[in-house]
Structure 1
Amino acid sequence: MRFLDLLARFRHAKSGNVATIFAVALVPLIAFIGCAIDYSRTVEIRGKMQAAIDAASVGSVARSSPGFIAAGAMTTDGAIPAGVTDATNIFNGNMSGRNGYTLTGFSADVQKIAGKVVSTVQYSATVPTTFTSIIGWSRLAISGTSTSAASMPAYIDFYLLLDNSPSMGVGATPADVAKMVANTSDQCAFACHDKLNSNSYYNLAKTLGVTTRIDVLRTATEDLMRTAKQTATYNSQFRMAIYDFGASAQTAGLRALFALSANLDNAKTEAGKIDLMSVNGQNDNNDQDTPYTTALAALNSVITNPGAGTAAAPQKYVFFVSDGVADEYNPGGCKKPTNGGRCQSPINPALCKTLTDRGIKVAVLYTTYLALPTNGWYNAWIDPFNAGPYGPSPNSEIAINMKSCASPGFYFEVSPTQGIAQAMSALFEKAVADARIRS
């Protein structure tokens, strides 16, 4: 058979059409499948690289990171080289051992900006292809960016004003009050620190194992120093000062037990020395031992203006712990009847407003003034503004004035069955959280 005849027969044959069409269609099908494989591999690599830069940006602003710690020592905003190094190392560590890509660009920028540590990490890379190279795409380009920010903890100065007047010698719980009443001839619940009498009720309380309010306050203040040390991110982030109302009735007024310092171990040691004001017998200093007016005015003069929460300009907080009743010579400013100029009344909130008007936060811990029905002095002078229908009330004038003294959200009342230590820690944690929001 001639060649021309064979060619004619092939041209007119129909049995091979399917194979021919399939062969022609197979080329784009293979290309499509190849593209899908290359694309899937590229997406997988891009996901790993994105995870790596996410880890780098987040890790470089973590509170324990070199960059975050370095930012705490900076007095101005700006770049943080230690953070850049840390971000780079985190990225490299996460991508170690991975292949299938070529890194064409990487950058990390870590900055301290307005009280925050901000990290931005970027990368670009190419992924070689296998199938799509047939149609001219020998590599695919990928890139990504990740930004993380963390608020820096604020630097805060805490000024503790602790009531150590004789009324803080009352039993810490109703059971302690009852034990003192049962063991004193005049049914007195107060364990006053009478220096002239070795048989004073102060010593009796110690002998009986009675826990007084001042005992609890001492322990709570020690615990607060421990909490502050454990909470601090930076050295010298928290400074503490401790004040009371004086060593004795004769010297009643603001007394510094511990000057403002970041040495919280020393602060804890000095807190362990907190004790009742001593008196030289009945009517010493006319028993005017809770001088709110002079003490708070003196404290206001001690505290410098608050800042934004930086190391150079810390925020300022006053922690005021008291049972809320003034006992002082104040014939012209007392809102209650006086006895020869002796003013016994709930605290005047205007004394705290002087502080808060300057931007100082005032945290008030009101140790509920317990009802002392067997005490004639209490019944005559305190009960009229303390009693609710069943004893001391949250709506008593004392409680209302103490709450008015506090900055919004910084008032705690601690009843005899609650913990002063827990309340002080809660106030501290709230102050730290509030300071971070403000900074």
Structure 2
Amino acid sequence: MAQRLSGLFDSFHHDRRGNIAILFAFSLIPLLVAIGCAIDYARATQIRSKMQSAADAASVGSVSKASPAFLAAGSMTTDGPIAVGSTDATNIFNGNMASQSGYTLSKLDAAVTKSGATLTSTVTFSASVATTFLTIIGKTALAIGGTSVSTSSMPVYIDFYLLLDNSPSMGVGATPTDVATMVDNTSDKCAFACHDVNDEHNYYELAKTLGVKTRIDVLRDATQQLMDTAAATATYPNQFRMAIYDFGASAQSAALRRLFALSSSLSSAKTAAGAIDLMTVKGQNDNDDRDTSYSKLLPAIDKQITAAGAGTSDAPQKYLLFVSDGVADETNAGCAKTMKNAFWGNKSPRCQSPIDPALCKAMTDRGVKVAVLYTTYLALPLKQANGDPSWYASWIAPFNVGPYGPSPNSEIANNMKACASPGFYFEVSPTDGIADAMNAIFRKAVADARISS
């Protein structure tokens, strides 16, 4: 029996047929660990992605235009941290993570700071995610973390000074149809609805009776729309201030006239804009028709505009919004285009010419941004009722674009463009461009929060 048992033991000892099961059992352990590690890491990655999204939402939201930090920054006179912004960012982060479990937050830093006109929000987080399978190898948690940085440009504070041409030439019909209506209904074929207080030539009232829309009507409406746009765009109550000037109440007092003093009350500015109207004249040749003296008007408005700033509440940027048809009619002995020809006689030093861009340069050189809205000078009839050359044919057509003069380009448009700061020249049709051009100034001040990293 002993010999038999010894033989069976030797046989079992030398038998290798069960090794594959043993080897599989030993190899199964690291395979399960690898799969478990992948599951733990995937879960940690998913939670980190959720936390990163929450951090992005917190950094962007805490410097958005409606955020407490953005509003608080508007009243800050110095740079530095904004406590309400940090609180807001923290709340946004926590709100986005409220439904997420399976992690332990170890650190959340949220800071919002103001530097000049820029707000920066930095949100940094770190957390740990408990493991399930990695505990086999002694790792009970995985560390995760991330950062989100967002910046927002604060809307600048801007003072707008409106210089609006209300000279008799702004009484011309706003469209070719309006011009034709006036010409067809006046004995002297006049396209202008001058605000003549003499009943004999009161084409101003005639235009109203005929339903003719003049340039000054369009300008009045556009200016009022501008005030509505400014009010809707402003983030801070006193972000935009307005002042309104024109060329004078009458030909006898033609000079810079203030219709509305610089103020942040945009509703009051809109009310004042409703009074924009043509200057009055007393018959033909009142003030020798010299009612557009750019050489006096622009230096005068320059004196009204205080030093331009960087766009902060205590140092606003300065804009001149200059709306005109671009033709001077003034006493100016240095004018390059005086009233001299065989038909009209020698009327020197009366000057009718495109605006001198040097008058605008004095302002742009000191940081004032000049926005020019050129109301295109429409071609007018070339003949008077008696067949003689018209005033337009003799004095405006030669430097206006079109088939009525020798110039290949409009000197009026070119000089108005030279007056404007880069990017702030608009040539508009009298009926449907002035309001859009005025509103375009505001679009340049709008800035939205963005993720920068």
Paired residue type of 1:337: T
- From 136, 140, 145, the equivalent of 2:147 is 145
Are residues 1:22 and 2:24 paired? yes
**SS of structure 2 residue aligned to 1:273:** coil
Aligned-pair Cα RMSD in Å = 2.0
* Paired position in structure 2 for 1:396: 410
* Paired position in structure 2 for 1:334: 335
Q: Which digits, 9 at most, give the CA deviation of each residue in 1:88-130, with x for residues without a partner?
A: 0001101102111111111101001121110000111111111
- Contact 2:398–2:406 (CA under 8 A) maintained in structure 1: no
Q: What is the CA–CA distance in structure 2 between the aligned matches of 1:5 and 1:240, rounded to whole Å?
A: 114
Are residues 1:380 and 2:394 paired? yes
Mean Cα deviation higher: 387-396 or 263-272:
387-396
Residues 237/403 of structure 1: CA separation in 2 closer, same or farther (3 Å cut): same
Are residues 1:424 and 2:444 paired? no
* Paired position in structure 2 for 1:257: 259
Are residues 1:407 and 2:421 paired? yes
Matches within 5 A, 1:19-418: 19-197=21-199, 200-331=202-333, 333-338=334-339, 339-373=347-381, 374-375=383-384, 376-389=390-403, 395-416=409-430, 418=432
Q: Which digits, 9 at most, give the CA deviation of each residue in 1:276-313, with x for residues without a partner?
A: 00112222211111111111001111111111111111
Shift of 1:4: 6.2
Residues 410/392 of structure 1: CA separation in 2 closer, same or farther (3 Å cut): farther
**SS of structure 2 residue aligned to 1:214:** helix
**TM-score, structure 1 length as denominator?**
0.94
Q: What is the CA–CA distance in structure 2 between the aligned matches of 1:433 and 1:292, rounded to whole Å?
A: 32
- Contiguous gaps of at least 5 residues in structure 2: 340-346, 385-389
Paired residue type of 1:22: F
- Contact 2:215–2:430 (CA under 8 A) maintained in structure 1: no
Between the aligned residues of both structures, percent identity stands at 67
**SS of structure 2 residue aligned to 1:379:** helix
- Contact 1:194–1:281 (CA under 8 A) maintained in structure 2: yes
Q: What is the CA–CA distance in structure 2 between the aligned matches of 1:56 and 1:369, rounded to whole Å?
A: 53
Q: What is the CA–CA distance in structure 2 between the aligned matches of 1:78 and 1:394, rounded to whole Å?
A: 57
Q: What is the CA–CA distance in structure 2 between the aligned matches of 1:392 and 1:34, rounded to whole Å?
A: 87
Residues 4/246 of structure 1: CA separation in 2 closer, same or farther (3 Å cut): farther
Q: What is the CA–CA distance in structure 1 between the aligned matches of 2:433 and 2:280, rounded to whole Å?
A: 25
- Contact 2:399–2:407 (CA under 8 A) maintained in structure 1: no
* Paired position in structure 1 for 2:343: none
Q: What is the CA–CA distance in structure 1 between the aligned matches of 2:307 and 2:52, rounded to whole Å?
A: 46
Paired residue type of 1:369: Y
Residues 108/4 of structure 1: CA separation in 2 closer, same or farther (3 Å cut): farther
**SS of structure 2 residue aligned to 1:335:** coil
- Contact 1:122–1:146 (CA under 8 A) maintained in structure 2: yes
- Contact 1:245–1:252 (CA under 8 A) maintained in structure 2: yes
Q: What is the CA–CA distance in structure 2 between the aligned matches of 1:297 and 1:4, rounded to whole Å?
A: 125
Q: What is the CA–CA distance in structure 2 between the aligned matches of 1:133 and 1:223, rounded to whole Å?
A: 69
Residues 279/144 of structure 1: CA separation in 2 closer, same or farther (3 Å cut): same
- Contiguous gaps of at least 5 residues in structure 1: none
Shift of 1:390: 5.8
Mean Cα deviation higher: 250-259 or 407-416:
407-416
**SS of structure 1 residue aligned to 2:396:** helix
Residues 369/258 of structure 1: CA separation in 2 closer, same or farther (3 Å cut): same
- Contact 2:56–2:149 (CA under 8 A) maintained in structure 1: yes
**TM-score, structure 2 length as denominator?**
0.91
- Contact 1:369–1:392 (CA under 8 A) maintained in structure 2: no
Shift of 1:381: 1.9
Residues 410/135 of structure 1: CA separation in 2 closer, same or farther (3 Å cut): same
Paired residue type of 1:210: V
- Contact 1:244–1:257 (CA under 8 A) maintained in structure 2: yes
Q: What is the CA–CA distance in structure 1 between the aligned matches of 2:268 and 2:325, rounded to whole Å?
A: 27
Paired residue type of 2:155: P
Paired residue type of 2:375: T
